[in-house]
Amino acid sequence: MDNPGWRETEIQIDAKVLIISVAAQMAGMHPQTLRQYDRLGLVQPGRAAGGGRRYSLRDVQLLREVQRLSQDEGVNLAGIKRIIDLENLVTQLEEQVNELREIAQAALQRVAELEAMAPFPRRDLLPSPRQTTALVVWKP
DSSP 2-59: --TT----PPPTT---EEHHHHHHHHTS-HHHHHHHHHHTSS--EE-TTS-EEE-HHH
Q: Residue 1: pLDDT band by 50, 70, 90 thresholds? A: very low
19-34: pLDDT as tens digits: 999 999 999 999 999 9
Contacts of 27 (CB under 8 A, 6+ apart): 34, 60, 63, 64, 67
- Give me the percent of the chain exceeding a pLDDT of 90: 67
Q: What is the mean pLDDT of the chain?
A: 88
68-113: pLDDT as tens digits: 999 999 999 999 999 999 999 999 999 999 999 999 999 999 998 9
